[in-house]
Every structure is written in structure tokens, then in C-alpha cells.
Amino acid sequence: MTEVNRSALIGLLRLFVSLAVLVFLPAWTLHYWQGWVCLLVFFASALGITVYLAKNSPALLARRIKAGAKAESEKTQKVIQFFAAIAFVSLFVLSAMDHRFGWSRVPLVVVIAGDLLIALGFAFVLWVFKVNSFTSGIVEVAPDQQVITSGPYTIVRHPMYLGSLVMLIGIPLSLGSLWGLLTIVFMAAVIVLRLLDEEQFLATNLAGYRAYTEHVHYRLVPFVW
């Protein structure tokens, strides 16, 4: 096993443990089947993508494991990533607390729909990875990077954020929470701030990006924005 693969798997295991704590501690019970299924779908999807990248695009996997506020070189992105982490944690904690105190009642079909959204979001992200091997976990431009204009990039300029947003919307529903959806507003705002700042960076540092934005008008949501 390479060092990159080892680091990726260790990071995935740490994330699993962290999210399990964020789900079951606020819920104050392990008898929370929605929580178990949510984590299963989330990590099965994440593991599948990790295995795919390890086999087919190890360089991309190496770029993906370099992420988070500390890894960012741009000061603005460090701040944005800090708030993104808070929003991500809040998403699980509020949803688990909703389950504990019974603030909302979510039908089984909606819970299942949430699980499907998680899987769909990850599948869309995998499509992005297959098309764009330059996708990094931080805002940067590789020396040989080119503008990608095919696949999901014909739909929106930031398809990975679109897939991530779909996945994030699925999480509170999967956990049986309607109140957890409130955190999506915060998370969506953080994503918008990140992509707007990223677009300025790419327009300045990536040849051909300005021309690309003139052909693909929607940044995040097709036919909306």
C-alpha cells in the first residue's frame, strides 16, 4: 500500500469515527437506525470513490487528501473553510438532537430519499473526478492544469460543489430530521462564498478560464445561478 493510499484510508477512518460521535452522542443512543444507515451510505460511497481514485488516479487522490483550512494557502479560503467545518459539524449535531428530542417527524420514504440523495451526490462527484483529474481539495492551480469543458462542466462551472450540496441536503433527511435542513442554508452560503473567491483566483491564474465562464453561465445550480 502506498503512502497516499494509507493516508487516505486513515483519514476516512478518522472521519467515520468523528461523524459517528457527532451522530450518536447528541442523539444519546445507539438505537438510531437512521444514523447507522446514513453513515453506512456515506462511507460506502466515500470508500468507493477512494478505491477508484487509488486504482485509476493516484495523483488526484494525493491532491484530494490535502484539504481543510490549514492546507489552504489563500487567507480568504482559510476563513471560509473554517466556517465550512462548523456548518458541516452542525449539520450532523442538529439532526441528531432533533431525533433525540423529537422536534420533527420524518416519514420513512423521506428518510430513504435522503439516503438516495447522499449516494447521488457522491456519484455526481465521482463523475467530476473522472472528467477532471486536476480537482484539488484546496484552491490552487497545478503547473500543467487546463480548463475542463466537458461532462458536468457543460452544465455548471462548479459541478463538484453541486454534487456536494445534493449530498449535504440528503444528510438531515437521512437522519430523520427536518430541523437539520436549516444548516443547509449556512452551508450553501459558505459554498457560494468559496466558489466566488475561487472563480476570481482561477480567472487570474488559469489560462482560458475567463473564456470558459462566457460559455457556461451557471455557477452552481442549472437555470438558476
User: Cell 453541486 appears where?
Assistant: 162
Mean pLDDT of 136-164: 89
Specify the CATH number for 3-215; select among 1.20.1300.10, 3.40.50.1980, 1.20.120.1630, 1.10.1040.10.
Answer: 1.20.120.1630
- What's the pLDDT tens digit per position in 91-121? 999 999 999 999 999 999 999 999 999 999 9
* CA angle 179–185–188, rounded 5-degree value: 135
Q: Is a pLDDT exceeding 70 seen at residue 69?
A: no
Alpha-carbon distance 221 to 225, whole Å? 5
Helix residue ranges per DSSP H, the chain: 3-27, 33-56, 58-64, 75-101, 108-131, 159-174, 182-205, 209-215
Sorted by where each begins, the domain ranges of the chain are 3-215
Q: CB–CB of 73/140 below 8 Å? A: yes
Residues 18-27 have pLDDT tens digits of 999 999 999 9
Could you tell me which of 60, 31, 35, 209 has the C-alpha nearest to residue 130?
60
20-61 pLDDT tens trace: 999 999 999 999 999 999 999 999 999 999 999 999 988 888
What does the pLDDT look like over 181-225, one tens digit per residue? 999 999 999 999 999 999 999 999 989 999 999 999 999 999 899
What local confidence, expressed as pLDDT, does residue 72 receive?
Answer: 64
- pLDDT grade, residue 67 (50/70/90)? low
- Name the grid cell of 138: 484546496
